[in-house]
């Protein structure tokens, strides 16, 4: 009997421990309730398992924390924390001085309990619903200090640590991802978060990634005694597209949900915002840097920008490149001597709309600014991430931009005048587009074409080239409508008051020229420019080109020039003919092939649109020395009324041409007015004819260049 009693006494602790282990799921909730008694925290646990060496598993743990009333908030806020498929681990250890136990507890006990909680997911919600916090695989550690009272211990929470890694915060349709922060809360500091680094990688709205992200700041919830309702963020930075903005301090008022701060842009490289400089990219390239100050006032999902300023550093410019990577158009954002104001007095209102307000997304209102001495403004714009697109319509008034545009390479020029108009800019997931933007200017400019001279050119070729394709084109009062898709294909519809082509041999003027240019439609050859639907008034008549594809790199194109209503007298004067007077108008087509500074005409033809009169004035000396056949021609053309006039023309690239003219009519003063038919064949060099006035200037230019070379060689020879 004593042996049985002894055995029972020995096994009793084991039995009690086994019973405690078996019954642990039944009284675990009771233990938590006793531990948290008197605190603003309540915990409900379910699906709890039996303890083992790695802790205690549970299916669900829900903690509810009620914040105490605060003069900074309208009422109490309840936080609901739920963990799924987790594990609890309790570690009893000796207390050390840096654990944060309050002084009264140190007198009674040196025991502390560290409770670690892990789970698959953590959800934290607030009531009223302000936000939802979501974390995967969280690890939370809570330190309890032990107090002995009436021969039993009570545990009180002393501190809590939580290392947040790659978490998410949701508010309505907005999600912040990549949230990182080291949280350490102390009871002795009223569970306020000391200054820690907070970072947010990306921001989504309705599942669409916004261009705003990369947020970093030093964050604390410890109130400022002077401003107890203010949360302070220090050393802040955020990225918008590729721009990084900073703010030394952001103060957020809890009482009225508002903040005021100034974003600073410091030396933003422009090349991050544009293409890679290959010339095959639809985007321009840029060089230089910008900086600026953007004052922001934020209140209840509404941000207001007032009097922001962006400055371009000296030498900053935007360039469009050829297929060889050489600039052919540049726009100066600042001059070469000093920094320049790019955007002044920028003001706007940005509203973050939620689904309960109707269409969610971002709305831009009241945008206005001063740009290049002019004004821009916009109608309200909405960015709806669910639709993945937005439309911003800018209104431009007297923007002094043309003076900043420069043509490079073989095409040079100077522009002048201010620009006004509207520019609708669309944004979607593929980029930006422009739809039927219209820009006008009362100014104009000059574009000079200076094709490179080939070394093997002969003297004659050089003389001809001096007044050939090289010319100045002067235009006035441009009116442009253009569109651009998201991959860079651009259509420009243009109209000018007039366009003049001036060479040393003379000039020609087009009135009311208009047409359409298509750019970057050939992805394999971005240097291809297509001209279509071109028309203009020429010599009191009209000309038309239906389509011409011009390769700017090869300088090659083929097209057909259509003419109608061209006075015959104007054509004769254009060729320097002075002894013929003619009436009537011509129409026809002239197929052209252009390569570099050479062009040829392939079987062109011009015909009279109606009957007319030709009067050829010959001198007595000409008639006296002429052959019989030529004298007959002089007599017939002295007062010739033609009923039919047909002509054809062909010209080789070297200028050799063949012109045929067929006339049918009569001269009432010649042989009783009988019917006369004439066939004329003319072979000459039209280029020599058209450029004869420029030969002298061409020779003078060549002699001058030769003299300069000889002078330079002589100077080099004398120099030591």
> SS3 letters for 2-34?
HHHHHHHHHHHHHHHHHHHHHHHHHHHHHHHHH
Predicted pLDDT of residue 515: 94
Which has the minimum average pLDDT: 306-315, 519-528, 643-652?
Answer: 519-528
pTM of the model: 0.64
pLDDT band, very low/low/confident/very high, at 104 (cuts 50, 70, 90): very low
Q: What does the pLDDT look like over 59-71, one tens digit per residue?
A: 888 888 777 666 7
Which has the minimum average pLDDT: 198-207, 225-234, 616-625?
Answer: 616-625
Q: Hey, is 188 helix, strand or coil?
A: helix
As given in the structure block, the two tokens for residue 364 are 């831009």
Strand partners, 174: 171, 205
pLDDT band, very low/low/confident/very high, at 27 (cuts 50, 70, 90): low
pLDDT band, very low/low/confident/very high, at 641 (cuts 50, 70, 90): very high
* Distance between CA atoms of residues 568 and 53, nearest Å: 109
Q: Hey, is 373 helix, strand or coil?
A: coil
Q: What does the pLDDT look like over 467-500, one tens digit per residue?
A: 445 678 889 999 999 998 888 888 999 999 999 8
Predicted pLDDT of residue 339: 79
* Distance between CA atoms of residues 609 and 310, nearest Å: 61
Ramachandran sector of residue 184 (left: φ over 0; alpha: ψ -120 to 50; beta: rest): beta
What backbone torsions phi and psi does residue 490 show, to the nearest 5 degrees?
A: -130, 135
Contact 112, 94 (CB under 8 A): yes
- 3-state secondary structure string, 135-153? EECCEEEEEEEEEEECCEE
As given in the structure block, the two tokens for residue 434 are 């422009």
pLDDT at 369 over 60: yes
pLDDT at 607 over 50: yes
Strand partners, 198: 217
pLDDT at 502 over 90: no
* Distance between CA atoms of residues 125 and 546, nearest Å: 67
pLDDT at 284 over 80: no
pLDDT at 110 over 80: no
Contact 605, 588 (CB under 8 A): yes
Buried b (16+ CB within 10 A) or exposed e, 556-565: ebbbebbbee
What are the boundaries of each domain within the chain?
23-164, 192-388, 555-690
Report which of 567, 644, 582 is spatially closest to residue 610, judged by C-alpha positions.
644
Q: Hey, is 331 helix, strand or coil?
A: strand
pLDDT band, very low/low/confident/very high, at 147 (cuts 50, 70, 90): low
* Distance between CA atoms of residues 373 and 644, nearest Å: 60
Report which of 420, 361, 359, 362 is spatially closest to residue 394, judged by C-alpha positions.
420
Is it true that the peptide bond before 393 is cis, omega within 30 degrees of 0?
A: no
Q: What percent of the chain has pLDDT over 70?
A: 75
Question: What is the rounded average pLDDT of the residues 435-440?
Answer: 92
Which has the minimum average pLDDT: 36-40, 147-151, 313-317?
Answer: 147-151
CA distances from 341 to 267, 292, 333, 347, 372 (A): 14, 9, 9, 15, 8
pLDDT band, very low/low/confident/very high, at 272 (cuts 50, 70, 90): low
pLDDT band, very low/low/confident/very high, at 56 (cuts 50, 70, 90): confident
Which has the minimum average pLDDT: 296-300, 361-365, 433-437, 572-576?
Answer: 572-576
Which has the minimum average pLDDT: 109-113, 186-190, 330-334, 570-574?
Answer: 109-113
pLDDT at 33 over 80: no
Predicted pLDDT of residue 329: 82
Mean pLDDT of the chain: 77
Query: Bigger pLDDT: 46 or 449?
Result: 46
Contact 398, 371 (CB under 8 A): no
Contact 609, 617 (CB under 8 A): no
Query: Bigger pLDDT: 236 or 24?
Result: 236
Own/partner pairs for 34-42, CB < 8 Å, 24+ apart?
A: 34/154, 35/144, 35/154, 35/155, 36/157, 39/156, 39/157, 40/65, 40/66, 40/67, 40/68, 41/65, 41/157
* Distance between CA atoms of residues 610 and 644, nearest Å: 8
Contact 143, 158 (CB under 8 A): yes
pLDDT at 531 over 80: yes
Which has the minimum average pLDDT: 18-27, 297-306, 361-370, 515-524?
Answer: 18-27
Q: Hey, is 102 helix, strand or coil?
A: coil
* Distance between CA atoms of residues 368 and 377, nearest Å: 4
Predicted pLDDT of residue 105: 42
Look-up: residue for tokens 């083929």? 558
Predicted pLDDT of residue 166: 92
As given in the structure block, the two tokens for residue 346 are 């920028």
Which has the minimum average pLDDT: 153-162, 264-273, 692-701?
Answer: 692-701
- The CA dihedral of 91, 93, 99, 104, to the nearest 10 degrees, is 120
Predicted pLDDT of residue 20: 44
Strand partners, 185: 160
Strand partners, 517: 492, 531
As given in the structure block, the two tokens for residue 233 are 């963020």
Q: Classify residue 517 by burial, with Cβ atoms within 10 Å: 0-12, 13-18, 19+.
A: middle
pLDDT band, very low/low/confident/very high, at 612 (cuts 50, 70, 90): very high
| Top-ranked range on mean pLDDT: pick from 7-16, 65-74, 302-311, 428-437 | 302-311
What backbone torsions phi and psi does residue 5 show, to the nearest 5 degrees?
A: -65, -45
Contact 145, 153 (CB under 8 A): no
Predicted pLDDT of residue 65: 79
Question: What is the rounded average pLDDT of the residues 84-109?
Answer: 58
Contact 259, 253 (CB under 8 A): yes
- The CA dihedral of 498, 503, 508, 514, to the nearest 10 degrees, is -40
pLDDT at 93 over 90: no
Q: Classify residue 441 by burial, with Cβ atoms within 10 Å: 0-12, 13-18, 19+.
A: buried
The Cα angle at residue 515 between residues 509 and 516, in degrees rounded to 5: 145
CA distances from 312 to 137, 199, 265, 271 (A): 47, 30, 11, 13
The H helix count followed by the E strand count for the chain is: 8, 44
């Amino acid at each position: 009997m004593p042996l049985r009693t002894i055995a029972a006494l020995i096994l009793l602790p084991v039995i009690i421990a086994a019973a405690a282990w078996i019954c642990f799921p039944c009284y675990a909730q009771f233990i938590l309730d006793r531990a948290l008694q008197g605190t603003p925290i309540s915990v409900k646990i379910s699906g709890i398992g039996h303890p083992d060496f790695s802790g205690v598993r549970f299916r669900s743990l829900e903690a509810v924390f009620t914040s105490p009333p605060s003069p900074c908030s309208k009422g109490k806020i309840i936080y609901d924390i739920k963990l799924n498929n987790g594990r609890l681990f309790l570690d009893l250890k000796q207390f050390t001085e840096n654990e944060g136990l309050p002084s009264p507890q140190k007198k009674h006990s040196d025991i502390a309990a560290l409770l670690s909680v892990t789970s698959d997911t953590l959800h934290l919600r607030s009531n009223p619903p302000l936000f939802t916090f979501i974390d995967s695989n969280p690890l939370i550690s809570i330190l309890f200090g032990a107090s002995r009272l009436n021969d039993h211990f009570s545990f009180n929470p002393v501190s809590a640590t939580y290392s947040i890694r790659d978490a998410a915060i949701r508010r309505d349709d907005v999600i912040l991802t990549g949230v990182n922060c080291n949280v350490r809360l102390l009871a002795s500091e009223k569970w306020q978060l000391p200054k820690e680094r907070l970072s947010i990688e990306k921001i989504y709205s309705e599942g669409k990634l916004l261009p705003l992200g990369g947020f970093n700041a030093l964050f604390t919830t410890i109130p400022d005694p002077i401003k107890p309702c203010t949360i302070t963020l220090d050393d802040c930075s955020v990225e918008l597209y590729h721009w990084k903005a900073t703010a030394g301090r952001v103060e957020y008022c809890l009482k009225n949900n508002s903040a005021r701060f100034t974003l600073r842009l410091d030396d933003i490289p422009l090349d991050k915002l544009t293409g890679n400089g290959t010339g095959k990219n639809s985007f321009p390239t840029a060089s230089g840097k910008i900086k600026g100050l953007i004052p922001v006032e934020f209140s209840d999902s509404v941000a207001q920008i007032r009097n922001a300023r962006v400055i371009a550093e000296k030498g900053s410019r935007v360039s469009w490149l050829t297929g060889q990577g050489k600039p052919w158009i540049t726009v100066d954002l600042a001059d070469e001597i000093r920094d320049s104001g790019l955007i002044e007095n920028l003001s706007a209102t940005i509203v973050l709309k939620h689904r309960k307000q109707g269409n969610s997304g971002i709305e831009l209102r009241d945008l206005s600014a001063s740009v290049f001495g002019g004004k821009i403004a916009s109608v309200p714009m909405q960015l709806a991430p669910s639709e993945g697109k937005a439309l911003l319509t800018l209104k431009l008034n007297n923007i002094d931009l043309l003076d900043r545009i420069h043509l490079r390479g073989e095409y040079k020029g100077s522009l002048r005048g201010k620009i006004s108009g509207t520019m609708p800019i669309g944004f979607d997931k593929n980029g930006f587009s422009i739809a039927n933007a219209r820009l006008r200017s009362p100014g104009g400019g000059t574009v000079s074409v200076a094709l490179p001279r080939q070394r093997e050119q002969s003297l004659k070729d050089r003389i001809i080239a001096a007044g050939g394709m090289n010319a100045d084109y002067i235009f006035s009062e441009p009116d442009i409508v253009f569109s651009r898709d998201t991959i860079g294909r651009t259509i420009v519809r243009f109209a000018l008051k007039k366009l003049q082509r001036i060479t040393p041999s003379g000039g020609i003027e087009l009135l009311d020229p208009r047409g359409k240019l298509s750019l970057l439609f050939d992805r394999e050859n971005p240097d291809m420019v297509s001209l279509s639907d071109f028309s203009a008034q020429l010599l009191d008549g009209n000309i038309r080109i239906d389509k011409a594809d011009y390769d700017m790199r090869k300088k090659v194109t083929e097209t057909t020039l259509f003419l109608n209503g061209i006075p015959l007298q104007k054509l004769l004067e254009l060729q320097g003919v002075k002894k013929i007077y003619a009436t009537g108008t011509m129409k026809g087509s002239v197929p052209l092939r252009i390569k570099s500074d050479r062009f040829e005409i392939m079987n062109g033809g011009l015909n009279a649109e109606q009957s007319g009169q030709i009067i050829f004035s010959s001198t007595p000396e000409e008639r006296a020395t002429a052959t019989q056949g030529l004298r007959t021609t002089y007599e017939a053309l002295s007062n010739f009324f033609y009923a039919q006039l047909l002509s054809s023309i062909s010209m080789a690239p070297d200028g050799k041409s063949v012109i045929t003219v067929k006339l049918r009519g009569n001269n009432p003063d010649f042989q009783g007015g009988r019917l006369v038919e004439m066939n004329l064949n003319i072979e000459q060099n039209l280029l020599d004819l058209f450029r004869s006035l420029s030969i002298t200037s061409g020779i003078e230019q060549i002699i001058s260049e030769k003299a300069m070379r000889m002078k330079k060689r002589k100077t080099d020879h004398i120099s030591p």
